Amino acid sequence: MNTKIINNKEIIAPTLALFTSFGTLLCCALPALLVTLGAGAALASIVATMPWLVVISKYKISVFSVSGFMILMAGVMQWKARNRTCPIDALQAEACQRLRRSSLYLYWGSILIWCIGFFFAFIAVHIFY
């Protein structure tokens, strides 16, 4: 009997999409938010502590392209798995449904984070400055 409850592809793609979209927040949204709130000193200390943020910000088009592609692929995988049947066993069926809900939340959370980062990186620059 197969005791494997989850399909790794169903949770890995949304999780990768979440982490890549979180990178967009770090590179672009967080610095813009801190500067907008007048916390330039806090931003300077963050950049001094984590100098790799400057490198990520320098390549923000690539960061947003890769993370957008990952989110798109996660969406395709979500779409393909939407009608996949869950096991008949009650325990495994419940775990399957819980996994689908959590991966859907991860996916929409990734989209939200990516949109916030995109706004601060490309749109807010022209609005507020």
Instruction: Give the model confidence (pLDDT) of 95-117 as tens digits.
Output: 888 888 888 888 898 898 888 88
**Residue 2 domain flag:** no
Residue 52's φ and ψ, nearest 5 degrees, are -70, -15
* 129 residues of the chain, pLDDT tens digit each: 444 444 566 667 777 777 777 777 777 777 777 777 788 888 888 888 888 878 877 888 888 888 889 889 888 888 888 888 877 888 888 888 888 888 888 889 889 888 888 888 888 878 876
Domain that residue 92 falls in = 9-118
Among candidate residues 53, 43, 32, the one with its CA nearest the CA of residue 120: 32
**Residue 103 domain flag:** yes
**Residue 128 domain flag:** no
The pLDDT of residue 9 is 60
The pLDDT of residue 28 is 75
